[in-house]
């Protein structure tokens, strides 16, 4: 019975997130992505730092290690991994292009005014190199200043301001919400 309640809880949260994020003018990628993670159960400090709205320049890459483990690394040098619960493993996790690249999450600023915090989720793959070579091999590296860098095409993306480069190119963005550092992270498209 507890398993049923927890599954229902995750599905309800995911449905609410989809409804809340369906409106608006933000352009989201059409790449399939799905991840629901309960950090109140795992208390992962690497992820928690990026899920805190006060930390508007800490971003964390979330990636699949294997069928049962998720890895986290943030732009402040922290790394960790956790074993997913049975319920989390049932969720058909898809993290980034071909489920290989992972996603980058964290709080930045809204494009309007720049003083309000907005939770972002981006693909960890360089979209320009992926478009040019059609292969998910060009993982972005995270910089401590809230940017991501591609060593192949030499582009730098601002994670704090919508994933934009100086020339206007953008990272692939996903719908995502965070209920706080030790809460639920949900990413979907």
What mean pLDDT is predicted for residues 154-182? Answer: 92
What mean pLDDT is predicted for residues 114-139? Answer: 85
Q: In angstroms, rounded to a whole number, what is the distance separating the alpha carbons of residues 108 and 91?
A: 27
Lowest mean pLDDT among 4-13, 66-75, 143-152, 172-181: 4-13
Higher-pLDDT residue of 9 and 179 is 179
Please tell me the predicted confidence (pLDDT) of residue 122: 96
Both ends of the chain: CA-CA distance in Å? 29
Note the Cα 100 to chain centre separation in Å.
13
pTM for the model: 0.84
Higher-pLDDT residue of 20 and 141 is 141
């Amino acid at each position: 019975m507890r398993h049923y309640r927890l599954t229902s809880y995750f599905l309800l949260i995911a449905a609410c997130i989809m409804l809340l994020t369906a409106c608006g003018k933000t352009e989201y990628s059409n790449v399939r992505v799905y991840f629901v993670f309960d950090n109140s159960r795992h208390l992962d400090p690497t992820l928690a730092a990026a899920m805190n709205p006060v930390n508007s320049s800490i971003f964390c890459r979330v990636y699949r290690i294997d069928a049962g483990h998720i890895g986290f690394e943030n732009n402040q040098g922290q790394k960790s991994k956790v074993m997913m619960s049975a319920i989390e493993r049932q969720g058909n996790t898809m993290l980034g292009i071909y489920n290989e690249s992972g996603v980058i999450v964290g709080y930045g600023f809204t494009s309007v005014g720049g003083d309000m915090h907005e939770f972002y989720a981006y693909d960890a793959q360089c979209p320009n190199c992926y478009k040019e070579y059609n292969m998910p091999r060009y993982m972005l590296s995270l910089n401590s200043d809230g940017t991501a860098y591609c060593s192949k095409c030499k582009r730098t993306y601002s994670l704090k301001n919508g994933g934009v480069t100086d020339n206007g190119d953008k990272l692939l963005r996903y719908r995502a919400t965070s209920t706080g550092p030790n809460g639920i992270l949900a990413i979907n498209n």
